[in-house]
Amino acid sequence: MNKENTAIVTSADKIPRKSVQAGSGTSMQILIGSDIAPNFAMRRFIMEPGGGMPNHTNSVEHEQFILRGRARVGIGKDIYEVKSGDVVFIPRGIPHWYKAEGNEPFEFICVVPNEPDHIEVIDKTSS
C-alpha cells in the first residue's frame, strides 16, 4: 500500500522525542509526519517548566491545542496566558514565543502544512 492508504493508530508516548535546538527545555514529537500524511503534519511539543521558545517567525501557520500545563505565549504585540483546553492559531509570518509556567510540563499539539518551514529567530532573550 502506498502512503495514501495506510492508517496509523499508536500511542503518542511511544513516539521518539527530539530536542528543539532553538528552544530551552523543549522537545518535539512528529505524531503524523509528511511521509504519511498528504497535506499537513501533526506534532506534539513538550516544554519543561521554565522552558520555551524565543521570539521567532515561521513561514507556515500553526494550529494548536493545549493538552497540559500552562504558559505565557506572545503573538505579535499581544501576550496571552494559555492553559490545557485552549486553542491557538498563529498565522504564518507572525512573531511568537512561548514560556512554560507552573510546575508541570506545557504540552500542545501543533499542526503545520506540508510546506518548507523557514524559521527565523528574532530575539533570543524575549522568552
Binding site for a second copy (CB under 8 A): 4-13, 15, 31-32, 36-40, 42, 44, 61, 63, 65, 67, 73, 75-76, 78, 80, 82, 85-92, 94, 109, 111, 113
Residues 108/66, Cβ–Cβ less than 8 Å: yes
Specify the residue for cell string 514560556.
99
Q: Closer to a second copy at the Cβ: 48 or 86?
A: 86
Q: Whose Cβ is closer to a second copy: residue 48's or residue 61's?
A: 61
If the CB atoms of residues 21 and 78 are measured against a second copy, the closer one turns out to be 78
Distance of closest approach, residue 11 Cβ to a second copy, in angstroms:
5
Task: Check: CB of residue 53 under 8 Å from CB of residue 123.
Answer: no
User: 98, exposed or middle or buried, with CB in 10 Å at 0-12, 13-18, 19+?
Assistant: buried
Phi first, then psi: give them for residue 14, nearest 5 degrees. Answer: -85, -10
Of 17 and 65, CB closest to a second copy: 65
What is the nearest approach in angstroms of a second copy to the Cβ of residue 103?
20
What letter represents residue 52's amino acid? G
